[in-house]
Amino acid sequence: VRILGIDTSCDDTGVGIVELAPDGSARVLANRVWSQTVHAQYGGVMPELASREHVERIDRVTGDALAEAGLEVNDLEAVAATSGPGLVGALLVGLMYGKGLAQALGVPFYAAHHLEGHIFAAASEADLKAPYLALVVSGGHTHLFDVPREGEYVLVGATRDDAAGEAFDKIARLAGLGYPGGPAISEAALRGAPDAVPFKEPLQGQKGFDFSFSGLKTAALLAHKAGAKPEDLAAGFERAAVRFLVKTTLRAAQACGRETVVVSGGVAANRALREAFAASGVRAVFPGKDLNTDNGAMIALAGAAAIRAGREPSALSEGAVAYAPLANA
């Protein structure tokens, strides 16, 4: 089954195509992302501008994805699009476009949850079968879900303040390292001394599996004011954040009895985080290249998982939702 996936939840117009084989494996045939640049001058995403840019770009990005896959639009057998969470106006563009396309082609339509998309991005690298633990570390989320069965998400931990990606972005801005902050911190960290600035482990001694980045942020701010080098700040913060994420996730995996950990969302692109999980002994599965940050292929992969699980297609009346918790327990 060839599935087209669309994500317009924020400021990226993403369209991807995935082929679901009869054996249940999924292969990414195309993945095109148009990253909006208009927001840079405002220092943050302007929702109304994001919607307009999606409207202008979505048809072209879809054409590019079809060309990349070497397919005609009539070759598509299903369409999936993100219905939430995200910016409602932005979501609506991709959702309506996807529904219209499915309707015109006479193929089933699947509304996808953005975080399920992030999690299923890892299905490009491994056959993803429950049970597993999922750590979603993105620009807006730092959530740990236990997935005991396909489609069942139990929230076991979440951030009490900033999301991990948000902390990378804020500290990068503070240190003058540019945007997006994740890749900038990672690059600068290679030239810095991780011990130059002291970062205390957050929530030390907690019994649960929550996250918090405000303490690391404050430490970075104080060190910056005291004249710390940006590279040293980056190195110290990255190491502390990675250790904290890995340690908490491993404790949760043990508590839930899970042998596989899926790590996804934009921060899953982080090299130090990947190395730390690889050295941890747990079976860690990450999304493939270019599938960590927002994209359409991950939504096509979520659609493929829905088809594989025999889920009913979504009603065309399904709307966009700004707030939509994934956990159903």
In the complex, the residues that contact ligand ATP under the rule CB under 6 A are 10, 114, 118, 138-141, 165-166, 168-169, 180-183, 186, 265-267, 269-270, 293-294
Number of residues that bind Fe ion (CB under 5 A): 2
* Per CB under 5 A, 13 contacts Fe ion: no
Q: Please, what is the minimum distance in Å from the beta carbon of residue 91 to Fe ion?
A: 12
The response to whether 146 counts as a known ligand-binding position is: no
Q: Which residue, 263 or 304, has its beta carbon nearer to ligand ATP?
A: 263
Cβ-contact 233, 184 below 8 angstroms: no
Cβ-contact 7, 298 below 8 angstroms: yes
As a whole number of angstroms, the distance between CA 1 and CA 300 comes to 11
Q: Please, what is the minimum distance in Å from the beta carbon of residue 11 to ligand ATP?
A: 8
Q: Which residue, 6 or 107, has its beta carbon nearer to ligand ATP?
A: 6
The response to whether 114 counts as a known ligand-binding position is: yes
Q: Please, what is the minimum distance in Å from the beta carbon of residue 63 to Fe ion?
A: 24
Cβ-contact 321, 83 below 8 angstroms: yes
Q: Which residue, 84 or 108, has its beta carbon nearer to Fe ion?
A: 84
202 makes contact, choosing from ligand ATP, Fe ion, none, with CB < 5 to 8 Å by partner type, with none
The response to whether 98 counts as a known ligand-binding position is: no
* Per CB under 5 A, 169 contacts Fe ion: no
* Per CB under 5 A, 138 contacts Fe ion: yes
The response to whether 137 counts as a known ligand-binding position is: yes
Contacts within 8 Å (CB) and 24+ apart, 245-249: 245/135, 245/137, 245/142, 245/164, 245/211, 245/273, 246/273, 246/276, 246/277, 246/280, 247/201, 248/144, 248/157, 248/203, 248/209, 248/210, 248/211, 249/133, 249/135, 249/144, 249/209, 249/277
* Per CB under 5 A, 12 contacts Fe ion: no
Cβ-contact 53, 39 below 8 angstroms: no
Give Cα separations from 233 to 135, 142, 167, 188, 275 (angstroms). Answer: 25, 22, 13, 9, 20
* Per CB under 5 A, 11 contacts Fe ion: no
* Per CB under 5 A, 294 contacts Fe ion: yes
Q: Which residue, 16 or 236, has its beta carbon nearer to Fe ion?
A: 16
182 makes contact, choosing from ligand ATP, Fe ion, none, with CB < 5 to 8 Å by partner type, with ligand ATP
As a whole number of angstroms, the distance between CA 191 and CA 223 comes to 17
As a whole number of angstroms, the distance between CA 26 and CA 125 comes to 9
Tokens linked to 18: 């995935």
Q: Please, what is the minimum distance in Å from the beta carbon of residue 294 to Fe ion?
A: 4
Partners of 283 in beta bridges: 260
Binding residues for Fe cation: 114, 118, 294
Binding residues: 114, 118, 136-140, 169, 182, 270, 294
Binding residues for substrate: 136-140, 169, 182, 270
Q: Where along the sequence are the contacts to Fe ion (CB under 5 A)?
A: 138, 294
